Amino acid sequence: MIGLIDNTVKRRLRAGEATAGAWLQLCSPIAAEIMASTGFDWLLIDMEHGHGDYQTLLAQLQAIGGSGTVPLVRVEANDPAVIKRVLDLGAHGVMIPWVSGRQECEAAVRACKYPPEGIRGMAGSHRAAGFGRFASDYWKRANGEILVIVQIETVEALREVDAMLTVPGVDVVFVGPTDLSAALGHVADPKHPEVVEAIAAIERAARKAGVALGTISRSWDEARVLYARGYQMVTLCSDAALVTQHAAAMVKAFREMKKV
C-alpha cells in the first residue's frame, strides 16, 4: 500500500525505546507478509547477503505495506546509486555495511538525504512518492523520516567510531559481530576478549553521541541481555533461520523416534 512515509520506528528510537525486528533473507513476498503480520516493529530485507534483486525487493515491500511494520533494507554497498533506488522503491530506512571512517559515514548520510542535506536525486515519479501523486509532500518529509543505520565491521571504523557517530544524520550504529571478529583476526569467535572489548568501545561511543545501538541475536535469551545493555534495535530472528531450524528439528525428532 502506497502512502506518505511515516517512520514510527525512528521516532521510537529517538525516544529511547527498544524495538523488535527480523531479517528477511528468503526474497519471498509470502514470507515477508507472514513476518509482518506477526507484529514486528520493523523488518530488514537483506540485499547484501540475500539473493534477491530489485524486483524481489519491490514484492517484499508491497507485502509489508499496510501492516504497520516499518520496511528497512540492508544495501549491498555504500553506493549512492544503490541507496537511491532502494529508497525510491519505498524503504523507510537503509542499513549500510562496511562504513569505515568519518568520510564514508558522511557519504552514506548524504546518499540518504535530499538537498541541501544530501545528494539524493529529486525524482517524484517513483513508488515512494506515490508515482508523483504526493511528490512534494514526500520530498518535505523524507529527510526527517528516513532511518540511517551504519554498520561497524572493520578495524578502520573502530579507530574512527567516535568521529563517525558525531556525523549529523546517523540514527543507528549497528554492530556486525561476525565481520568485526574476522577483521580483528578472530574468525567465527565473537566472544574473543578483543572482540568483546571492541564492541564495548562501540557501545560507549554510541551512548556518548546519543546514537541508538543495534545488533543481531541468535536466541531470545541473548536478545534479552542485549536489550538490558541498552540496545534498541535487535534482530530477533530471520525468515530463513526459522524455516531451516524448525524443519531440521522436526526431521531430527523423527529420526530419533525411529531409533527407539
- The x, y and z cell numbers of residue 39, run together, are 507484529
Distance of alpha carbon 260 from alpha carbon 252, whole angstroms:
13
Contacts of 188 (CB under 8 A, 6+ apart): 178, 181, 182
Total Cβ atoms within 10 A of residue 74: 24
49 catalytic residue (yes or no): yes
CA quadruple 227, 112, 83, 205: dihedral sign = negative
160-191 as b/e: b if 16+ CB within 10 A: bbeebbebebbbbbbbbbebbbbbbebeeebe
Total Cβ atoms within 10 A of residue 99: 29
Active-site pick, 49, 51, 126, 186: 49
- The x, y and z cell numbers of residue 170, run together, are 546517523
197-233 as b/e: b if 16+ CB within 10 A: ebbeebbebbeebebbbbbbbeeeeebeebeeeebbb
Catalytic residues, by residue number, are: 49
